[in-house]
């Protein structure tokens, strides 16, 4: 049986890297390193909702308006 992992721990730099790889296919100018670095430095002490908010804000600032 697998070890229990709280849902909030899925919203971390690994998710940031996964999202960045998927986005880069459609938006090659996406800055993967800065996106993942920001998430990594921001989420450690946060709970689930705050982690989701950090990732959403990072996407908002990294992606073009349209």
- Tens digits of residue pLDDT in 37-47: 999 999 999 99
**Does this model's pTM top 0.85?**
yes
Alpha-carbon gap, residue 66 to 64, rounded angstroms:
6
Give me the pLDDT at residue 23, please. 97
CA distance linking residue 21 with residue 28, whole number of Å: 10
Pick from 31, 51, 48: which is nearest to 40 by CA? 51
User: Closest Cα to residue 10, out of 60, 41, 51?
Assistant: 51
pLDDT tens digits along 13-56: 999 999 999 999 999 999 999 999 999 999 999 999 999 999 99
Q: Which of 16, 27, 22 is nearest to 51 (CA)?
A: 16
């Amino acid at each position: 049986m697998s070890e229990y992992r709280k849902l909030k721990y899925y919203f971390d730099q690994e998710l940031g890297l996964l999202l960045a790889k998927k986005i880069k296919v459609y938006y090659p100018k996406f800055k993967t390193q800065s996106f993942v670095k920001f998430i990594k430095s921001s989420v450690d002490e946060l709970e689930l909702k705050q982690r989701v908010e950090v990732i959403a804000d990072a996407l908002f600032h990294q992606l073009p308006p349209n």
